[in-house]
Amino acid sequence: MLKFYNTLSKKVENFTSINPPHVGMYTCGPTTYDFVHIGNLRTFIFEDILQRVLEISGYEIKRVMNITDIDDKIIKGAKEKGIGISEFSAPFERAFMMDLAKLNIKYANIFPKATEYVDHMIKYIEELIRKKLSYVEKDGSVYFDISKFPEYGKLSGLDKRELKSGTRILSDEYSKDDAQDFALWKSVQADEVGYNSPWGRGRPGWHIECSVMSQQYLGDTFDIHAGAVDLIFPHHENEIAQSEGKTGKKFVNFFMEGEHLLVGGQKMAKSAGNFYKLKDLEERNFDPLAFRYLCLTAHYRERLNFTWASLQAAQNALNNLREEIRGWNEEIGLSEQPKGSTDQFWQRFLDVANNDLNIPQAVAVVWEMVRSNTPTTSKYQTLLKMDKVLGLGLDKYLGKPIEVPANVSRLVTERESIRKSGDFKKSDKLRHKIKKLGYDIEDTPEGPRVKRI
């Protein structure tokens, strides 16, 4: 049974979709004012794992991820460079797509851009005004009146007394103390980036875009909305107010939010100099998939502390795993009878993965299976299935011969003939020599198997 922690109920609940086998899933995407940082990427990896676990259970996912290509920072950045906002955003969007590919993160089915849905947002806001959930200020800005939505705060668990109804927030960014009426539409001066609307020239707020674009593709009510934990309030809370206020129906059945990535025990900040992007990791010769592996070692609802040492440990573990699975046989060899099954490993892997994505435990099961003496022919297909969830790209290594340098290869052949002749002392000596060159030998019924140390 598939179970996920639902932020709405604050409990782990059994998951069933509204219309099986289909699952509608919306995940908040990047704001393209800069490259995404590794904290953002941790969230996207968590969402990717969520999709893969649903898929292995037979669900078909329709996934929507927005691209926020208009906000205060983008406008400021474009202005400073003297270019248009789409020209400013484009390279960051391209880099984001590349990062996803390098991390084996599946692309969403649809990546709607905020600037392409402004007309939809205007219509949506008109409906909220008609329902008296929103009001227009003298300057032409439109706000959502949180006092008109009694359930405001149900996701984030805000105490009603904290709510400052009647005070307003216009900025795209605000703190937990600012539970107040939020902007759906912000009026702008004639020379600023904006669009014409019934309330004058302006631009949409950040929250409205996610309500509009999710419901556009997934309907009034859909299965899963995911993001990072810092989006619970105000972003997801505001999305609920807008969406449920408009339709009178439940917006989303499951809200799932991934915890933060800390760097050196601290929150990432440009000012602290611990603000890393994927290319910073690559410049230090790390494989992007080592970062993915690192993310798999912590539960998504727990903080993960990134250090260069922890990334190195993840890289080593991934390298070891790749080496272990080289030379595995897919076909059953003559000397190898199918004895032992991997069913129990697969079942345990599924059980933990399905239990609110306990991926650290799933990785432990993978290692247990890899190191077990179950025949590789039996492990081969099971590992491929497991990697459908983990997304480590292990198929590139599975069963592939390792590239052994000619000098090592000669020594291996020499040792094998000596070993067969029964001179174990001499063959051990050669093994030692081979080890010094960075390789080890495992004697199997099919002959020697060479591994990189």
| Choices 79-87, 206-214, 281-289, 372-380; region in contact with Zn ion by CB under 5 A | 206-214
Burial of 345 (0-12, 13-18, 19+ CB in 10 A): buried
Which string of x and - marks every residue 384-403 that binds Zn ion (by CB under 5 A)?
A: --------------------
Say if residues 277 and 39 touch (Cβ distance below 8 Å): no
- Whether the CA torsion 223, 227, 230, 233 is positive or negative: it is negative
| Choices 106-114, 118-126, 202-210, 366-374; region in contact with Zn ion by CB under 5 A | 202-210
CA 245 to chain centre: 29
* Least distance to Zn ion, CB of residue 453, Å: 47
Hey, what are 62's tokens? Answer: 């329709």
> In sequence order, what are the residues at sequence separation of 6 or more whose Cβ sits closer than 8 angstroms to the Cβ of residue 354?
1, 2, 3, 53, 57
Give 26 or 328: the residue with its C-beta nearer to Zn ion: 26
* Least distance to Zn ion, CB of residue 217, Å: 14
- Decide: is 353 part of the binding site for Zn ion (CB under 5 A): no
Give 210 or 362: the residue with its C-beta nearer to Zn ion: 210
CA proximity to 2, closest of 389, 393, 392: 389
- Decide: is 240 part of the binding site for Zn ion (CB under 5 A): no
Give 27 or 180: the residue with its C-beta nearer to Zn ion: 27
- Decide: is 28 part of the binding site for Zn ion (CB under 5 A): yes
| Choices 23-31, 79-87, 297-305, 352-360; region in contact with Zn ion by CB under 5 A | 23-31
Instruction: Find the binder of Zn ion among 41, 108, 210, 383 (CB under 5 A).
Output: 210
What is the CB-side half-sphere exposure of residue 106 using CA atoms within 13 A?
21
* Least distance to Zn ion, CB of residue 149, Å: 18
* Least distance to Zn ion, CB of residue 48, Å: 17
Give 28 or 394: the residue with its C-beta nearer to Zn ion: 28
Give 28 or 95: the residue with its C-beta nearer to Zn ion: 28
Give 28 or 179: the residue with its C-beta nearer to Zn ion: 28
**Count of residues of this chain found to bind Zn ion when the rule CB under 5 A is applied:** 2
| Choices 20-28, 95-103, 283-291, 434-442; region in contact with Zn ion by CB under 5 A | 20-28
* Least distance to Zn ion, CB of residue 233, Å: 13
* Least distance to Zn ion, CB of residue 398, Å: 37
Give 28 or 78: the residue with its C-beta nearer to Zn ion: 28
* Least distance to Zn ion, CB of residue 27, Å: 8
| Choices 124-132, 133-141, 208-216, 435-443; region in contact with Zn ion by CB under 5 A | 208-216
Give 28 or 256: the residue with its C-beta nearer to Zn ion: 28
* Least distance to Zn ion, CB of residue 62, Å: 17
Torsion-angle region of 104 (φ positive above 0: left; ψ -120 to 50: alpha; else: beta): left
Q: Rounded to an integer, what distance in angstroms lies between the CA atom of residue 60 and that of residue 167? A: 43
Q: Using CB under 5 A as the criterion, which residues of the chain lie in contact with Zn ion when the complex forms?
A: 28, 210
